[in-house]
């Protein structure tokens, strides 16, 4: 597609429920990243997928968080047993990768998650 697409744009869920957030990257972009932006905070790295390599999960805050990327394209971020501190905007980005760093990130519009 023309840009990075995220769905849903807004999600309100009850504490303790599981949620799934979807990211559809730009076609041909092999790298996909998830970030989280809490109110008044900076962007926090969560997870990174690069082609067929094992994902970099070093930013996931707890084992309640997981993500997968199927067929090297669409990615789903799953949060189990949501807590109020999970409320944030979840941003996905994709990138065309090279050895020169000639291409930057393209971000989606984000999913605003509210846990009540």
Footprint on this chain of another protein (rule: CB under 8 A): 6, 31, 33, 35, 41-43, 45, 48, 50, 56, 59, 91, 93, 95, 97-110, 112
For the beta carbon of residue 96, count every other beta carbon within 10 angstroms.
15
Q: Alpha-carbon distance 69 to 88, whole Å? A: 21
Comparing CB distances to another protein, the nearer of 73 and 106 is 106
For residues 92 and 115, which CB has a smaller minimum distance to another protein in the complex? 92
31/74 with CB nearer another protein:
31
Tokens 């997928």 appear where? 49
* CB closer to another protein, 25 vs 110: 110
Q: Least separation, in Å, of the C-beta of 16 and another protein?
A: 27
Q: Closest approach of Cβ 55 to another protein, in Å? A: 11
Give the nearest distance from C-beta 81 to another protein in angstroms.
Answer: 26
Give the span between the Cα atoms of 39 and 87, in whole angstroms.
8
Q: How far is the CB of 49 from another protein (least distance, A)?
A: 11
């Amino acid at each position: 597609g023309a840009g990075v697409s995220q769905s849903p744009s807004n999600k309100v869920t009850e504490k303790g429920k599981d949620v799934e957030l979807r990211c559809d990257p730009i076609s041909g972009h092999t790298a996909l990243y998830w970030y989280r932006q809490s109110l008044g905070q900076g962007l926090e790295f969560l997870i990174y997928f690069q082609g067929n390599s094992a994902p970099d999960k070093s930013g996931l805050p707890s084992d309640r968080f997981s993500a997968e990327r199927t067929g090297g394209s669409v990615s789903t971020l799953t949060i189990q047993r949501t807590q109020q501190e999970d409320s944030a905007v979840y941003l996905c980005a994709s990138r065309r990768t090279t050895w020169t760093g000639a291409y930057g990130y393209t971000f989606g519009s984000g999913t605003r998650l509210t846990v009540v």
